[in-house]
Amino acid sequence: MMPPPSLFHLAVPVDSLEEARGFYGDLLGLEEGRSSETWIDYNFYGHQFVVHLGSPLIEPDINGVDGDSVPSFHYGAILMWDEWQALAQRLETAQIKFIIEPKIRFQGQPGEQATMFFKDPAGNALEFKSFRDRNQIFAK
């Protein structure tokens, strides 16, 4: 996978590198890069994502969005539609406990999107979303 023209770097705390490897590497299918005894780099859809041993958030704040309680502090990726569908199916098969089950949000409105929220083993909230029309990502 070629990296996009602009990249982001994100680091999050985890309490177990082995659980992180199982979750991010095995379940989500992210390619592992460099690592040490205290951190692991992953290719997060072309971006650098690092898990560091540390103290994860205990109870994140929430915001109401389209009838759901969305964790205020979260990270994730905007995937292509088919890629999002495949990930949702893989997570459902693995019986991941969702914060917000895979669904379509803002149906028939600007910004209509597929979305799902769940936590990693350390309690970090993730959102993966997709737009049938990527021109709707910033639609008002």
Query: Chain centroid to CA 128: how far?
Result: 5
The structural domain count of the chain equals: 2
One domain, residues 21 and 83: no
Q: Is residue 89 situated within a structural domain?
A: yes
Are 131 and 86 contained in the same domain? yes
Which residues span the domain enclosing 46?
9-53
Whether residues 69 and 46 fall in one domain = no
Element (H, E) at 86: helix 81-93
In a domain, 122, yes or no: yes
CATH number of the domain that residue 115 is part of: 3.10.180.10
pLDDT of residue 129: 95
Task: Tell me the C-alpha distance between 133 and 10, whole Å.
Answer: 26
Do 90 and 117 lie in one domain? The reply is: yes
What are the pLDDT digits (tens) for 28-69? Answer: 999 999 999 999 999 999 899 999 998 876 666 778 888 888
pTM of the prediction? 0.86
pLDDT at 59: 65
Q: Which two tokens stand for residue 121?
A: 């083993």
For the cut 90, the answer to whether the pLDDT of residue 72 exceeds it is no
Inside any domain, residue 96: yes
Q: What percent of the chain lies above the pLDDT cut of 70?
A: 94
- Shared domain for 85 and 112, answered yes or no, is yes
Mean pLDDT of the chain: 90
Shared domain for 87 and 45, answered yes or no, is: no
* 84: in domain: yes
Read off the DSSP letter of residue 24: I
